[in-house]
């Protein structure tokens, strides 16, 4: 378990980083930000004191899916996977915060007994679909611009060559 201090707008972790820790917010607020390569960043959640984040990637071993950034001065406590396992196996009473967060998230997504759970599932699905669509669109735009540049360069070269020849011959 390590303690960390972050200043305003300081990045805690970035998209694609290896998930070697989960974080408990002791004080302050943290923004979770989705980063779209061409169009920029979008805040997907703001978490305050008593909340945890980064736990799902730590548990399933996947890379970070967003940017975590301090909003103001933030005090965090981080746990490695080994420390998390120790807390879960040797001190189950200390795992209540993690369990509560995961169960709340799962209940919101999969209870199926309320309109809120259906909305939560749709929101998550829509968020993932939109993010992937934006990334795909941005890739097509970049490819299109690269193709236009490849076609434009010979034309520009011919125009420059024509101007040079005209200047030299006159």
- CA separation for the pair 6, 8 (Å, rounded): 7
Answer whether 12's CB lies under 8 Å from 70's CB: yes
Based on the domain organization, do 81 and 104 belong to the same domain? yes
Same domain, 61 and 29: yes
pTM, two decimals, is: 0.59
Residues 10 and 90 in one domain: yes
pLDDT digits (tens, 9 = 90+) for 100-130: 777 776 666 566 565 566 667 677 778 788 8
Whether 16 and 91 share a structural domain: yes
Residues 99 and 18 in one domain: yes
The predicted structure's pLDDT at residue 133: 80
- pLDDT per position as a tens digit, 6-30: 999 999 999 889 999 999 999 999 9
116 and 105 together in one domain: no
Domain final residue, candidates 110, 142, 158: 110
For 46, the domain range is 2-110
pLDDT of residue 151: 62
Same domain flag for 6 and 87? yes
Give the model's confidence band at 39: pLDDT under 50 very low, under 70 low, under 90 confident, else very high: confident
Q: Are residues 70 and 129 in the same domain?
A: no
Q: Could you tell me if 22 and 101 lie in one domain? A: yes
The average pLDDT across 143-157 equals: 65
């Amino acid at each position: 378990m390590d303690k960390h201090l972050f200043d305003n707008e300081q990045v805690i972790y970035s998209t694609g980083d290896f998930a070697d820790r989960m974080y408990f917010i002791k004080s302050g607020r943290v923004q979770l930000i989705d980063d779209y390569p061409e169009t920029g960043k979008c805040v997907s959640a703001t978490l305050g004191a008593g909340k945890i984040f980064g736990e799902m990637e730590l548990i399933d071993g996947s890379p970070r899916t967003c940017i975590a950034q301090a909003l103001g001065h933030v005090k965090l406590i981080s746990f490695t996977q080994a420390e998390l396992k120790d807390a879960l196996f040797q001190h189950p009473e200390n795992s209540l915060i993690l369990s509560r967060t995961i169960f709340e998230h799962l209940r919101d997504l999969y209870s199926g007994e309320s309109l809120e759970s259906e909305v939560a599932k749709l929101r998550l699905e829509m968020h993932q679909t939109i993010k992937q669509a934006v990334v795909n669109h941005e890739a097509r735009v970049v490819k299109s611009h690269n193709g236009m540049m490849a076609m434009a360069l010979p034309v520009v070269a011919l125009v420059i060559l024509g101007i040079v020849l005209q200047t030299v011959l006159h």
